[in-house]
Amino acid sequence: MKISKIKIKNFYSFKEATLDFSNYSGLTLIKGKNKDTGGSNGSGKSALVEALFFALTGKTIRKSTEDSLVNNQAKRKCEVELHLTHENKDVLIIRSKKPTKLAFSVGDDNRTQDTVAATQAAIDSFLNINHKVLLASMFFGQSNDVNFLECSADDKRTIIRNFLNLDDIFYMRDKIRTHKSTFLQSMKEKDAIILENQKTISKLDKKITEITQGKKAFSSYNERILKLSLDEILDKEEKDLELEKEISSKKKEIVLLEEEIKKKSKLPSDTWLCDKCGNTIPAVIYDENTVVFEIMYARGLVSDYRLVVKTLENSRWSLPITSREFVKVLKYKELCRDETNYEGMKKELLESIAKAEEEKGYNKTWYEVMRFWEKAFSEQGVIKYIIKNILEYFNERCNYYLSYLTNSNYFVEFDQELNEKIETADQLIQYISLSGGEKRKINLAIMLGLKDLLLLTDKSHVDLLFFDEVAENIDEEGVLGLHQLLQEIKKNKTIFVITHNKYLKTLLDSSPRLSIIKKKGISQLEV
């Protein structure tokens, strides 16, 4: 990413200013003159650096409030316009406060979104910006000092991780965690299904057992009985009742006829003796032929009726069970139907359990796969492996910069757990025992080493470096080494230096200068 131009309006003490970075290369000293105070403090040197970071991220290095950003004379319409080139494409970012606005375009393509947050996300994505890394790799100064050696091992790994631009790894880790969570949730759901189905099956088994026991009471019922229907039995019973009535009627008629035959079979005499009085009474004169005929006729009827009775009795449908008893059969059939239904339900549940077990097995397999890869992409996995393998390079770069700043009198080395070892030519030294100037040299060397880590992976790094008051509390030997280091770095970067250190100013006397003059509260650039 190559920054070409910045325009600022009503930003801090600036009303209007334009800086074309293409006019600068190598090492440039930013000087300031505050005519309101007679010194150089408060002239607006750092504000120029702040404007650049603000345009890219919407944040400030000094974490200023929105009100403090806006020029206190203008009080509104604070705006920073930044021109840069990324991936051979011209990029324009315009950010405003009071009102808050953000515009973003790549060439002729307007990529401004509906909200400032969405537009910032588009900028970050296109430029591949990590705000913390951008700050730490572009700006070096008191406001951005990172006391790396005072951080915990975890914090150190986090810092290195950021400079190695391992976002893709953490993106993969987060995706893996999401998938793992999904598979775990699915396993829990399948377990719930299996448990619920098993409970239901247990209830069904209990019911089936009860039915089996209940069916034993109907074991005497044969297949014929079980095939009968209640309507069929009631119909047969009705017909049998009618037959019984007819048979009974014929039997009564037979009895009557037989009595009549007995009476008529007694042949009459001329006289007969009265039992009471003993007198002889004249007999009634009968027609013998008529009597005989009547007897024979009656006997024929009797024979016919008996035949009818026999026929009727033989035509009766012998029922194996009555309709009243058949209620029990219906109960038995109900039990059989329930048993069939329960067995069917049980079968379906067993199939559901089998399917759930299969799906659970699938989810468990992938859950274990996700667990493996989660561990692989964790702090203790591939990240630790990467850090382990870049330690030699990191140590080499830190000591390269430290050789300039300390005239090779100090060395620092980090082990795999990122514990440091600081030593001179003849002894080990504890960081806590160092002076403020010595700590500053080591911290600056480490920050520059971290910047080099960024270059390993970040193809969109900024071509500008700003050193803001990095020489404070450093002795002349260290300042001389710093100047030599800056001369070395400028071969590949455009560097701007802000300093109050007189010795460093003297060393930079022949370098190009950018002056900022503040008068009556307003800062102006003098190129």
In the chain, where the domains are located: 1-129+461-527, 148-165+380-459, 178-217+336-376, 229-312
**Per-residue pLDDT at 284 exceeds 50:** no
By DSSP bridging, strand 27-34 and strand 494-498 are parallel
In the predicted model, is pLDDT for residue 480 greater than 70?
yes
Q: How confident is the model at residue 191, as a pLDDT?
A: 94
What pLDDT shows up at residue 285? 43
- Assess whether pLDDT exceeds 80 at residue 314: no
% of residues, the chain, pLDDT over 70 = 85
Residue among 268, 260, 253 nearest 296 (CA): 260
The tokens for 477 are 């030997």
pLDDT, greater one: 460 or 299: 299
- Nearest partner of 450 among 48, 60, 147, judged by Cα: 147
Range in 138-147, 156-165, 314-323, 440-449 the model is least confident about: 314-323
What pLDDT, on the 0 to 100 scale, is given for residue 23?
Answer: 86
Cβ contact 42:110 at 8 Å? no
Peptide bond before 320: cis, by omega within 30 degrees of 0? no
Tokens read off for 414: 């980090």
pTM of the complete model: 0.61
Q: Evaluate if residue 144 carries a pLDDT over 60.
A: no
What is the structure's pLDDT at 286?
45
CA distance 394 to 308: 125
Return the pLDDT at 451.
83
Residues 10-24, mean pLDDT to the nearest whole number: 89
pLDDT band per the 50, 70, 90 thresholds, residue 319: low
pLDDT score, position 412? 93
% of the chain beyond a pLDDT of 90: 26
> Between 84 and 167, whose confidence is greater?
84
507 has pLDDT over 70: yes
Q: How large is the average pLDDT for residues 441-468?
A: 80
CATH superfamily, with its number, for domain 1-129+461-527? P-loop containing nucleotide triphosphate hydrolases (3.40.50.300)
pLDDT at 280 over 60: no
**Mean pLDDT of the region 455-469:** 75
Report the range of poorest mean pLDDT among 133-142, 381-390, 515-524. 133-142
Reported as a single tens digit per residue, the pLDDT across 383-402 is: 788 888 888 999 999 999 99
Higher pLDDT pick, 199 / 336 = 199
Cα 442 to Cα 78, 169, 309, 468, 486, distances in angstroms? 38, 30, 131, 16, 16
pLDDT of 278 above 50:
yes
For residues 504-527, average pLDDT: 86
Phi-psi region of 517 (alpha: psi -120 to 50; beta: other; left: phi over 0): beta
Q: Which two tokens stand for residue 269?
A: 């005499």
- The per-residue pLDDT for range 397-408, each reduced to its tens digit, is 999 999 999 888
Q: What's the DSSP call for residue 525? A: E
Range among 18-27, 103-112, 166-175, 435-444 with highest mean pLDDT value: 103-112
Pairing mode, if any, of strands 109-110 and 101-106? antiparallel
Token digits of residue 221: 């019922």
Average pLDDT over residues 308-313: 75
> Across residues 98-122, what is the average pLDDT?
93
**What's the confidence (pLDDT) of residue 45?**
82
